[in-house]
Amino acid sequence: MNSSYSLVDTDQDFRRSLMSPPPINLSFWQQSTSSPAMSKARRTKILLSYLPDWIITIVLAAVFFALDKVPGYRRDFSLTDTSYAVHERIPNIALYFIAVVAPFVLQGLVNLITVRSWWDFHSATLGLILGLATTGAFTQFTKITVGRPRPDIVSRCIPKTGSVDPLWGLSNADICTQTSAAIMKDGWRSFFSGHSSLSFAGLGFLAFYMAGKFHLFDGRGHAAKTWVCLVPIAAASLVAYSRSMDYRHHWTDILTGCIVGLVFAYFSYRQYYPHLASPMSHRPYSPRIGRDDGIINELPLHSTHGNQEDQHHESMEGGYRDVELQDGTGPAKPTAMWPLET
């Protein structure tokens, strides 16, 4: 009889716990003991192992600027399209600040708020520049190959007096009287939008970086974190919208640029960080150079670059640790205590 009453009481307690769940505590990146500083020799060795990545990134950036000098192909156009705008809402210098400088600075601030790791800063910087350089080179190559006229091509061309479209066809650059080679060259670079692709490459990478640091896809749902991570995407969208308002691009150019920039941003992000649903999404992959013998409180942050998530939860002493949401019944149990090299 006693055992049966015990079962009933247990069942009632369980039901009461469902009706009134305990409070949930949210805590991130509780700092424990600090990790020892990495030796200068090891840090140099690690950075040199990523020299090929930096070389490729610099080459792609050089290709981006070099292709800007190429005249490129020029499609025929119609003289009936009289779209015209003189001033750009977001000139090139503003674009570089929005797509390059702003993400770089904000990633550094997020690093200081969360993991405070030089290795994370290196991985984020390399990933950001790689995404921008790849996007820029691909964008310029496409522009000079496709040669699509911008919506304001007639105002750029300044056709000869009395010029009309052929009865069966379109006009070409031969009827233009524009003397500025730069204006003419830029007039046939509509597809696809470089402002859109570069803004989504830079700010898109920042959005992925923030989503990983804040564990946006931890399966618990946090509206505030979602909106914070969407702010860079919203800013990139405003840049893209301005290209249509200024008659610099067709809507298909803008949409394609947004997609290309976001794809390359995620591609470069995944080169150095795990997927966003990973319990270790806030930490970059471990260096290519293994730990020195006898060193315990150092990286790797991830035991492998694969999907063996169970290996990522092995505990170590020191450094920063991640604390999961708890049910309030006991002390928080960290999902990982991998230390960060400083």
Per-residue pLDDT of 58-87, as tens digits, reads: 998 888 888 877 776 665 556 676 666 677
Residue 276 has pLDDT above 50, yes or no: yes
- CA 189 to CA 140: how far, in whole Å? 9
Write out the two tokens for 231. 């702010």
DSSP 3-state of 278: coil
Q: What is the mean pLDDT of the chain?
A: 78
Dihedral-angle region of residue 294 (phi above 0 means left; psi in -120 to 50 means alpha; beta otherwise): left
More confident residue, 294 or 175: 175
- pLDDT per residue as tens digits for the range 185-225: 989 999 999 999 999 999 999 999 999 999 999 888 888 88
Using 50, 70 and 90 to split pLDDT, how confident is the model at 313? Answer: very low
- pLDDT per residue as tens digits for the range 225-249: 899 999 999 999 999 999 999 889 9
Residue 36 has pLDDT above 70, yes or no: no
Task: Answer for the pair 312, 293: CB distance below 8 angstroms, yes or no.
Answer: no
Residue 304 has pLDDT above 50, yes or no: no
Q: Mapped to the 3 state alphabet, what secondary structure does 235-269 carry?
A: HHHHHHHHHHHCCCCCHHHHHHHHHHHHHHHHHHH
Using 50, 70 and 90 to split pLDDT, how confident is the model at 333? Answer: very low
Residues annotated as catalytic (active site), given as ranges = 195, 249
- CA 95 to CA 101: how far, in whole Å? 9
Over residues 320-324, the mean pLDDT reads 37
Report in angstroms the alpha-carbon separations of 151 from 14, 184, 255, 340. Answer: 67, 13, 15, 51
Where b means 16+ CB within 10 Å and e means fewer, 163-196 reads eeeeeeeebebebbeeeeeeebbbbbbbbbbbbb
How much is the pLDDT for 331?
A: 37
Question: Could you tell me what percent of the chain has a pLDDT over 90?
Answer: 41
Using 50, 70 and 90 to split pLDDT, how confident is the model at 263? Answer: very high
How many CA atoms does the CB half-sphere of 103 hold within 13 Å?
32
Task: Answer for the pair 195, 88: CB distance below 8 angstroms, yes or no.
Answer: no
Task: Answer for the pair 64, 136: CB distance below 8 angstroms, yes or no.
Answer: yes
Task: Note the residue count of the chain.
Answer: 342
- pLDDT per residue as tens digits for the range 118-157: 999 999 999 999 999 999 999 999 999 999 999 888 888 8
Residue 107 has pLDDT above 70, yes or no: yes
Question: In sequence order, which residues have a C-beta less than 8 Å from that of residue 234 and are 6 or more positions away?
Answer: none
Using 50, 70 and 90 to split pLDDT, how confident is the model at 20? Answer: low
Over residues 114-118, the mean pLDDT reads 89
How much is the pLDDT for 308?
A: 43
Residue 30's H or E segment, with its range, is strand 30-31
Over residues 28-36, the mean pLDDT reads 45
Write out the two tokens for 3. 């055992």
How much is the pLDDT for 292?
A: 57
The separation between CA 2 and the C-alpha centre of its own chain, rounded to angstroms, equals 62
Residue 332 has pLDDT above 50, yes or no: no
Write out the two tokens for 17. 């716990």
Global pTM reads 0.70
